[in-house]
């Protein structure tokens, strides 16, 4: 086993300001995790050169990531527009609302109400509550990337490496670019949200689902998944950050 001094000698530590990302980020050699994520993102965006008989690999290095995106801004009056108020009034006609009315309204956000015929992903919603105009049924995909389980789009989405490989890159621009890829594919496949990314700030390194997070360091978890969420929601898809703490229990 290598000592801590030997490990420290192999990896340099660069300090960054909070505005620039992680306060302390390692600069390891180019890792397979980073290369795999770069390849997955660029396959999605179609920014790769066509392969030839002499060069069958459909990508070339170095590659250029797309510009970073931020979470779309919310108008201050958006939650209180006349249309939204009318929908709330249909779901909760009395003030204060009754328990039955609250349960009916919450059914719109539940993923256990039945099969949505337009959703071929893991978590789909057909709410028995009807409004005029109709609130669109929700359709959530799960995990890292769009996981289409049935229907015509099976195997038509980008399959990335595990999230821990993205964390091992310590690359916030790459995380943002991958979020954009997830958001773009979700919008194209009528998915309304992604149950992810997973960022548990308190995990055991040997936890069986640890590979579904950027790693065991809470700072890296937060920075990497924040950049991913900005890219994902910047492309117009909802993000549901999963298992904030103690999911290993």
Residue 12 has a pLDDT of 39
13 phi and psi, to 5 degrees?
-115, 130
- Can you give the CATH number for the domain in which 88 is found? 3.20.20.300
Structural domain contains residue 26: no
> Do residues 175 and 124 make contact, with C-beta atoms less than 8 angstroms apart?
no
Structural domain contains residue 38: no
Structural domain contains residue 40: no
Least confident among 20-29, 50-59, 124-133, 179-188: 20-29
Structural domain contains residue 115: yes
The model's pLDDT over 111-145, given as tens digits with 9 standing for 90+, comes to 776 677 778 887 777 777 888 998 878 888 887 88
**Does residue 30 carry a pLDDT above 70?**
no
Structural domain contains residue 57: no
Count of domains in the chain? 1
Query: Which range of residues forms the domain containing residue 228?
Result: 66-239
Confidence of residue 57 (pLDDT cuts 50, 70, 90): low
CA distances in angstroms from 229 to 156, 178, 195, 204, 221, listed in the order given: 22, 9, 11, 23, 12
Q: Calculate mean pLDDT across residues 155-177.
A: 90
**pTM higher than 0.85, yes or no?**
no
31 phi and psi, to 5 degrees?
-100, 160
Structural domain contains residue 122: yes
At which residue do the structure tokens 């992903």 appear?
Answer: 121
| Nearest partner of 169 among 209, 210, 227, judged by Cα | 227
Structural domain contains residue 31: no
Structural domain contains residue 245: no
């Amino acid at each position: 086993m290598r000592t801590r001094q030997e490990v420290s000698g192999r990896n340099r530590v660069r300090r960054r300001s909070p505005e620039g990302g992680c306060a302390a980020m390692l600069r390891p050699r180019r890792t397979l995790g980073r290369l795999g994520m770069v390849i997955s993102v660029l396959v999605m965006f179609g920014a790769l050169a066509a392969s030839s008989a002499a060069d069958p690999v459909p990508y070339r290095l170095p590659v250029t990531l797309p510009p970073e995106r931020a979470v779309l801004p919310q108008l201050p009056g958006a939650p209180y527009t006349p249309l939204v108020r009318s929908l709330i009034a249909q779901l909760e006609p009395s003030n204060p609302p009754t328990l039955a009315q609250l349960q009916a309204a919450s059914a719109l956000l539940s993923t256990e109400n039945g099969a949505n015929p337009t959703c071929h992903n893991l978590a789909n919603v057909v709410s028995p509550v009807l409004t005029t105009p109709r609130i669109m049924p929700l359709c959530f995909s799960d995990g890292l990337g769009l996981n289409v389980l049935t229907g015509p789009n099976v195997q038509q989405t980008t399959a990335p490496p595990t999230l821990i490989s993205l964390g091992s890159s310590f690359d916030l621009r790459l995380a943002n670019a991958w979020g954009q890829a997830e958001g773009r594919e979700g919008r194209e496949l009528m998915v309304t949200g992604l149950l992810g990314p997973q960022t548990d700030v308190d995990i055991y390194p040997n936890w069986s689902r640890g590979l579904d997070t950027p790693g065991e360091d809470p700072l890296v978890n937060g920075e990497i998944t924040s950049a991913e969420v900005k890219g994902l929601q910047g492309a117009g898809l909802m993000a549901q950050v999963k298992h904030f703490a103690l999911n290993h229990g």
